[in-house]
Amino acid sequence: MNLLRNVDPATVDPATVEVIRHYLVSAAAEMERTLVRTAYSTIIYEINDFGLSIFDRNLNMVADSTGLPVFLGANQYAVRNTFEHCDFGTLEEGDVVYMNVPYWSGAHTNDGVLIAPVFVGDDTVAYVAVRAHWTDMGGKDPGYILDSTTIHQEGVLVPGLKIFRRDQPNEDLMRLLRANSRAPATIMGDLHAEVAALRTGRERVGELFVKYGTPTVDAAILRILDHGEGQARAALAKLPKGTWEAENWMDNDGVGDDLVRIHVKVTIGDDKVVFDFSQSSGAVRGPINLPFAMTRSFSNIAFKTITTPHEPTNAGQFRPLEVIAPPGNLFHAVYPSPVFTIWASVVGIETVYKALAEAIPELVPAASGGDLGDPGFYGKEPYTGRQVWHQTNAGVGWGA
pLDDT in tens, 304-362: 999 999 999 999 999 999 999 999 999 999 999 999 998 899 999 999 999 999 999 99
Q: Is 264 helix (H, G, I), strand (E, B) or coil?
A: strand
Q: Is residue 386 part of a domain?
A: no
Over residues 188-242, the pLDDT tens digits come to: 999 999 999 999 999 999 999 999 999 999 999 999 999 999 999 999 999 999 9
Over residues 85-136, the pLDDT tens digits come to: 999 889 999 999 999 999 999 999 999 999 999 999 999 999 999 999 999 9
Cβ pair 394, 373 in contact under 8 A: yes
Residue 352's closest CA among 304, 285, 397, 291? 304
In whole angstroms, give the CA distance from residue 342 to residue 339.
6
Per-residue pLDDT, 1: 46
**Are 42 and 180 members of one domain?**
yes
**Are 210 and 347 members of one domain?**
no
Residue 101's closest CA among 55, 151, 142? 151
**Are 142 and 277 members of one domain?**
no
Q: What angle do CA 159, 165, 169 make, to 5 degrees?
A: 85
Helical pair 292-307 and 74-85, crossing angle rounded to 10 deg: 150
Q: Is residue 2 part of a domain?
A: no
**Are 86 and 15 members of one domain?**
yes
**Are 178 and 268 members of one domain?**
no
What is the largest distance, in Å, between two alpha-carbon atoms of the chain? 70
In whole angstroms, give the CA distance from residue 216 to residue 7.
6
**Are 185 and 258 members of one domain?**
no
| Chain centroid to CA 17 | 26
Lowest mean pLDDT among 106-120, 134-148, 357-371, 377-391: 377-391
**Are 89 and 41 members of one domain?**
yes
